[in-house]
C-alpha cells in the first residue's frame, strides 16, 4: 500500500487566514490527479487546491468557513496503487529510450531527474536549482507525488466588471449545464454565485419563469457616460416602435450570421415602361413605383430558389419550406420602421400590388396596421431608392432567412460590345443567413432577380 500523503495549501502569495468557501470532496471520496478539493477566496482572488495525484481521501481536515494559510494540511490522501507502481517503474516504460550500456541503470541521481519537483522550490533562486531539487526529493514521499499549484482566477487575471463572481468549480458546473453565469443572480457572500443558484436558474428556465438565452454573441454593455459634462443635452424617449424594433434588430444581428451579396440590374426598359404607364395608374387610383416590379421579381426568384422561402425550425436542424409567397415591405414612419406584409403576392398583378401597397403604407404611417398585417412574411424588401445610396446591408427579419435591399438607380456608361451606352442601373443587396444559404446560391438568386427585372417580357400591369 502506498504511503499516505498530506495535501497542504500551496504557495498563495502573501495571504494568510484565507477563508474556505467551498469543500468539494468528503472523506472516502476517490479523486483524480488535479481534481479540486477545496476553494479558497482572498480579497483579490479565488483559488482551488487540487489533489496532487489520484487516490482516496482518507481524512479531511478543513470545513466550510475555516481559514487556512500556506502549508496548512487540508486533507490526507492515500494514493492509488497504480500511481505507486508507475513511480517505481519510472524509466522502464515502453515510451522510454533504451539506455546505453555504460549509463547508470537506476541510481538515486538518475531517478531524481525524472521526479516532479515541488512547485514552491521552483519559485526560489534559479541559481540554486540543483540544490532546491535535492531538498525537494528529500522532503517528498517516495511515491513521487507532487503538490499541484493552486488554480487561480480573479481580479489580477480577469475583468471583474464582466466576469460573473463564481468559483472555477461552479463555472465548470454551469458549463456542463449550458448555463450563462452572467444571467444568474448570486446569493452567496458578496453576491457570489453558488451551486444552488445555478440549479435554481435551470429550474426557472425549465418552468418558463425565466427566458432561455438565445444563441449568439455575448455583448458587453455600453459604457455609462454623462454627456452633459461635454455640453448641452436633451433627453428624448424612444417611441414604442423604436423600442420594439431595436430589440428585434439587435437579436437578429447577433444571432444570424449575415452575409450581403451585391449586384446591379439594368432597369432602363423597366423605368421607361413605368413612366409610360404612370398616368394610367394615377387615373385608377394608385402610384406605379419600381417596388411593385421588385415584388414580382422576388416571387419569381423565390420559386426558382425555394431555400430562400424557408425558415429554420426551433431546433435549428430542419428547414420549414413555405409554399406561399408573403412579402414584407419596410415602411419608414415618423415613429420608426415597420414591415407590413403583402400576402399571396404570386396571385396578384403589379396593379393590384400597387393599390395594396398604397393602402398598407398609409396605415403604417398612421399607426393603424392590424397584428395580422405584420405577420407571416416569407421574405422582406427594404427600398432606399427614393432617398439615395449605392448599397447597404439590410438586417434579416427573422425567422426569414434573407432580405433584399434596394438603393438608388443611376445612369452609368455600359459597354455593349461596340460602344458605351447610358443605362439606368439599380443596386441590389441581398443579405442572407449563411447557416441556410451558401454564397454561390445567393449570387445566383441575386443575378436571377436582376435578369428578371431586365426582361421586357415581364413588364405588364
432 touches 394 (CB < 8 A): no
Predicted confidence at residue 163, as pLDDT, reads 61
The CB density around residue 341, as the number of other CB atoms within 10 Å, is: 19
* Residue whose C-alpha is closest to residue 342's, from 274, 401, 291, 304: 291
Q: Which entry of 258, 261, 434, 458 is annotated as an active-site residue?
A: 434
Residues for the chain: how many in total?
Answer: 461
In this structure, the number of other CB atoms found within 10 A of the CB of residue 123 comes to 11
Helical H segments across 367-436, by residue range: none
**Residue 172, C-alpha cell as written in the block:** 465548470
SS3 state of residue 321:
strand
Q: Which three cell numbers stand for residue 57?
A: 481521501
- Grid coordinates belonging to 385: 431608392
As a whole number of angstroms, the distance between CA 244 and CA 377 comes to: 18
CATH of domain 169-205: 4.10.320.10
Sorted by where each begins, the domain ranges of the chain are 5-78, 169-205, 256-454
Cα 418 to Cα 415: distance, rounded to the nearest angstrom: 7
Does residue 148 contact residue 51 with C-beta atoms inside 8 Å? yes
Mean pLDDT of each 10-residue bin along the chain, 461 residues long = 84 78 88 86 72 91 88 90 51 44 42 42 43 41 47 42 70 81 82 85 72 54 88 91 86 93 97 93 90 97 98 91 97 90 95 93 89 93 93 96 97 94 97 96 98 92 75
Return the pLDDT at 412: 96
- Whether 326 is catalytic is no
Q: What is the pTM of this model?
A: 0.56
pLDDT value, residue 172: 78
The CATH class, in words, for 256-454 is alpha beta
Q: Which of 72, 24, 73, 71 is nearest to 46 (CA)?
A: 24
Radius of gyration of the chain (CA): 35
Q: What grid cell was written down for 232?
A: 448641452
Topology of 5-78 in CATH?
A: OB fold (Dihydrolipoamide Acetyltransferase, E2P) (2.40.50)
**Residues paired with residue 40 on neighbouring β-strands, in sequence order:** 20, 47
CA distances from 78 to 27, 68, 210 (A): 11, 22, 45
Helices (H) and strands (E) in the chain, counts: 12, 20
Chain centroid to Cα 339, Å, comes to 27
If you write DSSP's letter for every residue of 124-191 in order, what string do you get? Answer: S-GGGHHHHHHHHHHHS-TT----PPPEEEETTTS-TTTS-S--HHHHHHHHHHT--GGGPPP-SGGG
Distance CA 105, CA 98 (A): 10
Q: Return d(Cα 267, Cα 107) in angstroms, integer.
A: 90
Strand-pair category, 319-321 with 310-312: antiparallel
- Please report the pLDDT score of residue 211 as a whole number: 57
Amino acid at each position: 500500500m502506498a504511503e499516505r500523503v498530506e495535501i497542504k495549501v500551496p504557495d498563495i502569495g502573501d495571504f494568510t487566514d484565507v477563508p474556505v468557501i467551498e469543500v468539494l470532496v468528503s472523506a472516502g471520496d476517490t479523486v483524480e490527479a488535479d481534481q479540486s478539493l477545496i476553494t479558497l477566496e482572498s480579497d483579490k482572488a479565488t483559488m482551488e487546491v487540487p489533489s496532487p495525484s489520484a487516490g482516496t481521501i482518507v481524512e479531511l481536515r478543513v470545513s466550510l468557513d475555516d481559514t487556512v494559510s500556506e502549508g496548512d494540511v487540508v486533507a490526507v490522501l492515500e494514493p492509488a496503487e497504480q500511481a505507486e507502481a508507475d513511480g517505481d517503474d519510472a524509466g522502464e516504460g515502453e515510451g522510454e529510450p533504451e539506455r546505453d550500456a555504460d549509463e547508470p541503470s537506476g541510481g538515486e541521481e538518475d531517478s531524481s531527474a525524472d521526479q516532479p519537483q515541488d512547485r514552491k522550490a521552483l519559485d526560489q533562486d534559479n541559481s540554486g536549482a540543483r540544490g532546491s531539487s535535492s531538498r525537494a526529493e528529500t522532503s517528498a514521499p517516495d511515491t513521487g507525488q507532487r503538490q499541484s499549484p493552486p488554480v487561480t482566477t480573479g481580479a489580477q487575471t480577469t475583468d471583474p466588471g464582466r466576469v460573473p463572481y463564481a468559483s472555477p468549480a461552479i463555472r465548470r458546473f454551469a458549463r456542463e449545464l449550458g448555463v450563462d453565469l452572467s444571467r444568474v443572480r448570486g446569493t452567496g457572500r458578496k453576491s457570489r454565485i453558488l451551486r444552488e443558484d445555478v440549479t435554481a436558474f435551470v429550474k426557472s428556465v425549465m418552468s418558463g419563469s425565466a427566458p432561455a438565452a438565445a444563441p449568439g454573441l455575448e455583448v458587453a454593455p455600453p459604457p455609462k457616460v454623462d454627456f452633459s459634462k461635454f455640453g448641452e443635452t436633451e433627453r428624448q424617449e424612444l417611441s414604442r416602435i423604436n423600442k420594439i424594433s431595436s430589440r428585434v434588430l439587435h437579436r437578429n444581428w447577433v444571432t444570424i450570421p449575415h452575409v450581403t451579396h451585391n449586384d446591379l440590374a439594368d432597369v432602363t426598359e423597366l423605368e421607361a415602361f413605368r413612366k409610360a404607364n404612370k398616368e394610367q395608374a394615377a387615373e385608377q387610383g394608385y402610384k406605379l413605383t419600381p417596388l411593385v416590379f421588385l415584388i414580382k421579381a422576388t416571387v419569381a426568384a423565390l420559386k426558382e430558389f425555394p431555400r430562400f422561402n424557408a425558415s429554420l425550425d426551433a431546433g435549428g436542424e430542419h428547414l420549414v419550406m413555405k409554399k406561399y409567397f408573403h412579402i414584407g415591405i419596410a415602411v419608414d414612419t415618423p415613429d420608426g420602421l415597420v414591415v407590413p406584409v403583402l400576402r399571396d403576392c404570386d396571385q396578384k398583378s403589379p396593379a393590384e400590388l400597387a393599390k395594396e401597397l398604397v393602402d398598407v403604407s398609409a396605415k403604417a404611417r398612421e399607426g393603424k396596421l392590424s397584428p395580422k398585417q405584420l405577420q407571416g412574411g416569407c421574405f422582406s424588401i427594404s427600398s432606399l431608392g427614393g432617398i439615395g445610396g449605392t448599397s447597404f446591408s439590410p438586417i434579416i427579419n427573422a425567422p426569414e432567412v434573407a432580405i433584399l435591399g434596394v438603393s438608388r438607380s443611376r445612369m452609368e456608361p455600359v459597354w455593349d460590345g461596340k460602344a458605351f451606352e447610358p443605362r439606368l442601373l439599380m443596386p441590389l443587396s441581398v443579405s442572407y443567413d449563411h447557416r441556410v444559404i451558401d454564397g454561390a446560391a445567393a449570387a445566383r438568386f441575386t443575378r436571377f432577380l436582376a435578369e428578371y427585372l431586365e426582361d421586357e417580357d415581364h413588364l405588364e400591369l
